Structure 1
């Protein structure tokens, strides 16, 4: 055998050896995806227990456990506007056993709100399924002489510097929308930030603030009693619980920013195998067909998303990024 043919044989041997070694790895990955999940899965909620995100996560965890025959355990890791829990998932092993149910703020808007984040949601997270649209109602105190969005815009313009709006925290979606409304009308409205929705509602009912975005779950009873006046629903459709209240668009607030809705979603570490993401999405999609699941989500004050998945949700996420960036920029909100 010549030196050149010997060298060629060695190259072929090494190539075949490398290929042979790759087969078990590939087969193992495929078997792992097919058998997923083979042990309990952690579903992280980056907020304290008891809120709407936590309630939705627990409902989804039960349905995934039923469908995939393994426990899905909800773990609450609150703090820093959702950053602590979200960061833990972004840095977790991408094997499908650590997932997160988060909000549009924690999964998207925080990158524009905070000067520095310990993770990059665009690189460190994979969007698996948009679970539900957030549903909030723009309401005003009953004494404000407006009946719809068009009249509200005119009233804010005519009363520059005299009005206030509340929110349940600096950088929350009600803060961002209120700041944009003030910017749009050149209204110079004062922002009053509360530590949660409950104290905000208390002051709102007492007439201490003029307007606010409130959740359906918290605000519905007060609107029905005439203690708050609803202007429109910040959602793509009317709320089942408030059938006589129009969407903000139909109420006259037609600016595209007011068609930007909050949402809740399931995400995973970025390199989680795509077939595992698809398996999770398929199980959620099947669960969303159940009228009882839909009813429970509506009762929480959300709108269930019946058809989502990794590719569809990722495309929507990319399309929404510049809109959230603009909203945060206009609001002037910046957090350390």
Structure 2
């Protein structure tokens, strides 16, 4: 009787594994949703659309971008984490660690299936073209004199991916970031429009995202939080030229899915992302817009996510935002 039961169980397991393998082999046999937790026109949206177009070519099925910019992107990356892990919902993941630490969502590296990183951009500090602020040193001096004197746009929720990097500079210069006037927005594109309209005095976002407004002489970057000047923006100083020991920081972008995705599907997506990343057209698109190129496979991305979580906690504890 026991032997018969074992044989029956083995048969069921074998059948299930065969069906699962067939399912993975057949993927994708219908459209795939790509969640972008940012508004149209920003860097996350632009790079996601390039990837989605190439995924469509490679896999022969639509990869449909769905923008979820509300709430600074928290609902979007939460939706990605909660999706069915069948390969038909993937998304673009970026700096998510502040959300859990600030009680805005229980998201960690365990919430996702890492697939591949393709980008890293350094944060920059932007002002209106006619602003009296000429450097990061001016910002630090003004905030030290009166922490409420400037409205600081985060380019998302506060502290966001971009503003977390800037927060570290302020903390290192003895400024209590808890008492500053932080202003959230629905992504960098919306934040930049708020800056131009005069709703904030400065904004943290990447240089590529602000490039059109910089060229139009509506926005002026004070500095970029990078270790050296960027090739695409050689005239923009690095923050450490204006404030001693200003630490570099910024945002990563990566392809990911909900936790528990089938390995066979992840293999396909990882290989496709690497092929796209290495392609002449993708490299050209990224370079022409000034987006930073940085690749990591699924293991490298997972390692980076864990480091991101540890570094973010260090900054937020130093800021007194996390006990």
Give the TM-score normalised by structure 1. 0.77
Task: For 1:92 and 1:157, locate their aligned partners in 2 and report how far apart those are by CA, in whole Å.
Answer: 42
* Residues 288 and 145 (structure 1), Cα distance of their counterparts in 2 relative to 1, 3 Å cut: closer
Task: For 1:39 and 1:75, locate their aligned partners in 2 and report how far apart those are by CA, in whole Å.
Answer: 16
Task: For 1:293 and 1:261, locate their aligned partners in 2 and report how far apart those are by CA, in whole Å.
Answer: 21
Where does residue 293 of structure 1 map in the other structure? 282
| Range with greater deviation from structure 2 (171-180 or 159-168) | 159-168
Q: What is the CA distance between 1:242 and its match in structure 2?
A: 0.9
Within the candidate set 240, 245, 249, 2:231 is matched to: 240
Q: Does 1:180 align with 2:175?
A: no
Q: What is the CA distance between 1:313 and its match in structure 2?
A: 0.3
Task: For 1:83 and 1:192, locate their aligned partners in 2 and report how far apart those are by CA, in whole Å.
Answer: 17
Where does residue 108 of structure 1 map in the other structure? 97
Task: Give CA-to-partner distance per residue, 1:50-95, whole Å, 9 cap, x none.
Answer: 3322222111111111112221111223322222222222222111
Q: Does 1:44 align with 2:30?
A: no
Any unmatched runs of 5+ in structure 1?
1-9
Alignment of 1:42-191 (within 5 A): 42-104=33-95, 107-113=96-102, 115-117=103-105, 119-138=106-125, 164=150, 166-167=152-153, 168-169=155-156, 170-187=158-175, 190-191=180-181
* Residues 85 and 160 (structure 1), Cα distance of their counterparts in 2 relative to 1, 3 Å cut: closer
Q: What is the RMSD of the two structures over their aligned residues, measured on CA atoms?
A: 3.4
* 1:93–1:269 Cα contact (<8 Å) kept: yes
Where does residue 18 of structure 1 map in the other structure? 9
Task: Give CA-to-partner distance per residue, 1:252-300, whole Å, 9 cap, x none.
Answer: 6545xx3332122221110101231121011011011122212222344
- Counterpart secondary structure, 2:250: coil
Any unmatched runs of 5+ in structure 2?
186-190
**Number of equivalent positions:** 311
Task: Give CA-to-partner distance per residue, 1:204-256, whole Å, 9 cap, x none.
Answer: 9xxx84x553432454467679887655423466433212445446766545x
Task: For 2:15 and 2:292, locate their aligned partners in 1 and report how far apart those are by CA, in whole Å.
Answer: 44
* Residues 127 and 254 (structure 1), Cα distance of their counterparts in 2 relative to 1, 3 Å cut: farther
